[in-house]
Amino acid sequence: MTDGVHQRTIARPVSFRGKGLHTGAESIVTFCPAPENTGVRFKRTDLPDCPEIPATIAHVIPTDIYRRTTIGNAQGVRVYTVEHLLATFLGLGIDNIVVEVNRSEPPFADGSALPFVETLLEAGIVEQTAARRYYVIDKPIVFAENGIEITALPSEQLIISFFADFANPLIGSQAVNFVIERDTFHHEIAPARTFCFLHEVEELQQQGLIRGGSLKSAVVIGETTILNERLRFDDEIVRHKVLDILGDLYLLGCPIKGHILASKSGHAANINFVKFLRKDATRIMNTTNRPPVFDINKILECLPHRFPFLMVDRIIELEEGKRIVGIKNVTINEPFFQGHFPQRPIMPGVLIIEAMAQVGAVVVLGTPENRGKIAYLMGVDKAKFRKPVEPGDQLRIEIEIVSARKSAGKVAAKAFVGETLVAQAGITFAIGK
């Protein structure tokens, strides 16, 4: 991946203006510096309160990944066609940035990422203090769906190998292999434009798409000729497929160290592959040394629990209204070990449930309408304990919100030690004063 071990942002705000590919509306996108550990966030400045949407797989709209990648929140706010911007941030090694956009779709420029690369390089990229986090592929991973296959292999760098095979004889079969570094991305991948086939144009227009499309923003391929004057590369089509998969991969929330081999994949398969990877993400990213989103002081502000019943040491991931990841360090000094199998100390299952419930309470109480309230444990469903938790273990508790209302909430909870699932349960809360 791009060189450097520290996180990066841009030196100053910078803007770009143009039409959205699918909406056809004029929009302005402003790239803004962001503090460490912010990640990539899109901000709709045209809406009341300027809602922000983190560019993560949890915020992808699964019904809108046919010809583009769309992110949104539970309130129905959307930002369409974000994949080229995300690929640019990944390719340039930008970890933290706020993307202000005054419409539902950012400008599409010329169908490539090159204008965004040049705009951000003009703003300047600066190094921050915090360490960069990576998703490290430490073993072969194979994902297959509907004849499409994506494989991830261990590698110290991000490498993309892509094979595309089209029935159209003007394109045929194309394959590329790139080590993703800043210069390579800038000159070999970013200039590759999006494309479509002439016979698809009418169908896409009937679906309300490509309203802003033209030969200035896409390569259009007919049965016997390519309608554009020239291609930027002989294999521009497959290079653009690399651009798209890079953008979708950045929805993991951090760059990858691994070799990705993709065959014939598009946005839908890319997104499902990222979801597949995301199940293992916090296990592979070395959570032990990750800076907390909530330290113990913030946790104490949120939860009413105190010694010996506070079961959360820190929160390392938080996506408001979606999910949370918390850490519980299990030491021999825990008071329950004195009476619970003292000759063979094991953490009681009910306290593992309590730890999961407390992490779940943090995310349920994190919504604006629930701040300052208390989450009362009301029900536990389908609890399973798969492996004993012993002194010296570190519980990593992953919570997904199933439902959240003003008076109640339900979460799906899983607890891991290392890569091993040790417990899981559905937990229901009542929200009160």
Cβ–Cβ < 8 Å for 417, 385: no
- 64: which 2 tokens? 């809108």
In angstroms, the CA 366 to CA 371 distance is 6
Structural domains of the chain ordered from first start: 6-284 (3.30.1700.10), 287-432 (3.10.129.10)
**Peptide bond before residue 304 is cis, with ω within 30 degrees of 0:** no
Count of other CB atoms within 10 angstroms of residue 62? 10
267 is an active site residue: yes
59 is an active site residue: no
In angstroms, the CA 371 to CA 365 distance is 5
Instruction: Say which residues have a Cβ less than 8 Å from residue 136's Cβ, sequence separation at least 6.
Output: 256, 257, 258, 284, 285, 286
Enter the pTM of the model. Answer: 0.67
Cβ–Cβ < 8 Å for 153, 159: no
pLDDT score of 287: 41
State the catalytic residue, choosing from 22, 84, 186, 267.
267
pLDDT score of 210: 63
Give average pLDDT by consecutive 10-residue segment, the chain, 433 residues. Answer: 73 91 82 93 95 92 82 91 96 97 90 96 94 86 90 92 85 91 97 83 66 69 79 93 96 93 92 86 47 79 88 87 88 85 89 95 79 87 93 91 83 88 93 84
pLDDT score of 88: 98
Cβ–Cβ < 8 Å for 267, 66: yes
pLDDT score of 284: 47
